Structure 1
Amino acid sequence: MKRKKICMVVQDRMVKGGIAAVINGYRGSELETNYNILYVESYKDGGRLTKLLKGIWGYLHFAKVLLIDKPELIHIHSSFGPSFYRKIPFIYMASWAKRPVINHCHGADFNNFYLNASDKKKRLVEKIYNKCSIIIALSEEWKARLSKIVSSEKVVVIENYSIIQENSLAERLTRKCNKQILFLGEIGHRKGGYDIPEVVEKLAKSLPDVKFIIGGSGDIQQITKLLKSKKVEGNVVFPGWVRSEEKDRLLRESDIFFLPSYNEGMPMSILDAMGYGLPIVSTNVGGIPKIVMNDCNGYLCNPGDNEGFAEAIRYILTDKSKRKRMGKASMKIVIDSYSLEAHISKLEAVYEKYLTIEHHN
């Protein structure tokens, strides 16, 4: 049987961040076996000219795909901020071609994007989102938020997924605790980067050999200054943005994954860490409480509760049985509910719904 064509508007596969991580999991997966996925890349990291040229090429490529390849369905991955504006031409072109659009929304800061926006911007967001056939939200909480823009019937929840590494958990259960805490993500205010120095300071008082690995890019210089002012710079390593073998090694070597975010959807970094059997210390925002439960597979605190973060990390590092229990719980949660296979199955159900409508039209 001939595979149906789906055009997926994506980032360059080397882009930093969770959206690219989600999309890269699709490449070579069962999704490509079941459908003819036509990837159109609309964004890549780099300077303004690099981004501009990539964007222009993305629009031209998309026009060619619509006119010549004639996909039955368009699946766009978007966020808030500049990503929203970059996707507007794709949504208009798909609308002109009378193709259903799935807008897979990975955004995190809803207040700035919509609630606190000007009336003009709110009208634009509403107009663009209502041109889409369906909006994919990363959690029930995000469905409730996005339902302020479009009717709730147009919003479906498909959570992110984890690639499961069962041998990593087995290794961690038999080895000695390294007292290593891992953070992966954009290093800045939104993900709580500026709170990390105080957490390190509080923790180092009772565990002087504790080690934080802060993997990612962003405000490293500013945060290093804060660490130096607290005399704990020796407890922190900044390896830069980590991928592939280095990321795998750090996830295996670490004892806790730490993400003190202020805004999130359903962070791939936490799901990745849970797939390696890591206990999690994070915040009760976005979809995180759905995957991290207090005293089950980790601890959740309010954003900015640095005392709470330090205590939670200390509890886990100093209690071997708790580390083992929480690591096993993280692994069980992703095996039961957050596998790539389960994610693709939900995505294909959405595809089939709109492909059936398209076929009848």
Structure 2
Amino acid sequence: MKICMIVPNSTVKGGIAAVVNGYREHNFGERYRITYVESYCDGSKMRKLLKALGSYFCFLKVIITNRPDLIHIHSSFGPSFYRKMPFIYLGKMFRIPIINHIHGAEFDPFYGKASEQKKRLIQKVYRKCTRLIALSDEWKKNLKLIVPEDKITVLPNYCIVPEKVNPERKRQILFLGEIGKRKGCFDIPDILEKANLRGLDATMVFAGAGSREDEEALKKELAKRNLDKNVKFAGWVNGREKTKLLEESRIFLFPSYNEGMPMAVLEAMAYGLAVVTTRIGGIPNLITDGQTGFLAKPGENEFFAQKIEKLLQEPELAQRLGEGARQKAKEKYSFESHLNSLLRIYEETVKESDVSRSNNT
């Protein structure tokens, strides 16, 4: 089976690239031949525009010369939706089945609060797809507002679970992801102050990147609370640098306001960190409150602070929660399980499309 997969550049910062890079690094098996078409890159507006335009020509060439059996598009909301429209229209024109794998996090601004005209456009585009992939049952409920339920399949994200983890952890709290308001980063200074970070001689590490304005505003707020000496900014990390932070940290703090199914939480689970996060999107599928981590509503800083302080004071509790999270990651969110489910979706989608074409001839 020949698959054309529409993906971001491998160096792009974010969860979609993390998912796709895992695909690139693993073998899909002899039966599946994957052609990757990169439609997005980081950089200036001009660079992004040229990348998108080039990807449409590349995609058309693949369709004409290689005729894929299936198109697998990785998309989000906002600008990503509009960038993916030409791929969907071209795929439909050539009568190739299309899977739209939706990684978006903010549904209300995209669809719930959209104008009627924009809603009709979104419905029209999504209904041209043969199948939509949602990251969780919660996201399936949202997408049911746009397309019939039988067009939606749930496929959670995955994590690579290491064989062993470091039992010796620093008094260190880790945040992984984009530094900005949506991820709850501006709640963290208040949480750390309430958790008595300085008094407990612990360290907070921000491993991620955001706009210069957001990073400076966050640093200013930390300094105002006399927390700057206990906080480190590692920048965007990958590879061994990220692994080292996951291996040595005790707690993963992720007070996000909007998520699909965050790869950062899955990675923290895989490495046995005690996860303190919010009850949004697909996160409650990952974290069971009190068993594999702690959950609260976004903005409940007092709750987060209490749990952070408790985990710093009780390393055995942090270890127990981390072990539970790691076991759950291994049992439910392994790459092997994810890939088997994805390949089954491929087979079902192509078969379904063949039947539909036969009925229309």
Contact 1:26 1:32 in 2 (8 A): no
Q: Give the aligned partner of residue 258 of structure 2.
A: 263
Task: Please tell me whether residue 240 in structure 1 is matched to residue 240 in structure 2.
Answer: no
Task: Please tell me whether residue 26 in structure 1 is matched to residue 18 in structure 2.
Answer: no
Report 1:31-42 matches (<5 A): 31=28, 33-42=30-39
Contact 1:178 1:254 in 2 (8 A): yes
Using the alignment, how far apart are the partners of 1:30 and 1:244 within structure 2?
19
Q: Give the aligned partner of residue 317 of structure 1.
A: 312
Q: Give the aligned partner of residue 268 of structure 2.
A: 273
Using the alignment, how far apart are the partners of 1:275 and 1:34 within structure 2?
29
Structure 2 unmatched ranges of 5 or more: none
- 1:308 equivalent among 303, 306, 320: 303
Structure 1 unmatched ranges of 5 or more: none
Using the alignment, how far apart are the partners of 2:14 and 2:29 within structure 1?
22
Using the alignment, how far apart are the partners of 1:274 and 1:13 within structure 2?
23
Report 1:140-151 matches (<5 A): 140-151=137-148
Length-normalised TM-score, structure 2? 0.95
Task: Please tell me whether residue 130 in structure 1 is matched to residue 130 in structure 2.
Answer: no
- 1:202 equivalent among 170, 194, 211: 194
Q: Residues 106 and 205 from structure 1, CA distance in 2 versus in 1: closer, same or farther, beyond 3 angstroms?
A: closer
* Cα drift, residue 358 of structure 1: 4.3
- Aligned-residue Cα RMSD (Å) equals 1.2
- Could you list the runs of 4 or more consecutive aligned residues of structure 1 that deviate by over 3 angstroms after TM superposition? 205-208, 357-361
* Cα drift, residue 33 of structure 1: 4.0
Question: 1:90-117, CA deviations, whole angstroms, 9 ceiling, x for partnerless residues?
Answer: 1001011101110000000000000001
Question: 1:255-279, CA deviations, whole angstroms, 9 ceiling, x for partnerless residues?
Answer: 0111100010110000011111111
Q: What SS does the aligned partner of 2:195 have?
A: helix
- 1:164 equivalent among 130, 152, 161: 161
Contact 1:72 1:358 in 2 (8 A): no
Q: Residues 6 and 307 from structure 1, CA distance in 2 versus in 1: closer, same or farther, beyond 3 angstroms?
A: same
Q: Give the aligned partner of residue 185 of structure 1.
A: 177
* Cα drift, residue 208 of structure 1: 3.9
Using the alignment, how far apart are the partners of 1:33 and 1:238 within structure 2?
43
Question: 1:301-322, CA deviations, whole angstroms, 9 ceiling, x for partnerless residues?
Answer: 1101111111111122211221
Using the alignment, how far apart are the partners of 1:41 and 1:331 within structure 2?
32
Report 1:63-74 matches (<5 A): 63-74=60-71
Using the alignment, how far apart are the partners of 1:267 and 1:130 within structure 2?
26
Q: What SS does the aligned partner of 1:16 have?
A: coil
Q: Give the aligned partner of residue 224 of structure 2.
A: 229
Q: Give the aligned partner of residue 59 of structure 2.
A: 62
Q: What SS does the aligned partner of 1:346 have?
A: helix
Q: What SS does the aligned partner of 2:329 have?
A: helix
Which amino acid in the other structure matches residue 260 of structure 1?
Answer: P
Contact 1:166 1:331 in 2 (8 A): no
Q: What SS does the aligned partner of 2:104 have?
A: coil
Report 1:315-354 matches (<5 A): 315-354=310-349
* Cα drift, residue 120 of structure 1: 1.1
Contact 1:284 1:300 in 2 (8 A): yes
Length-normalised TM-score, structure 1? 0.95
Task: Please tell me whether residue 215 in structure 1 is matched to residue 207 in structure 2.
Answer: yes
Q: Which moved more, 1:323-332 or 1:143-152?
A: 323-332
Identity of matched residues, %? 47
Report 1:42-57 matches (<5 A): 42-57=39-54
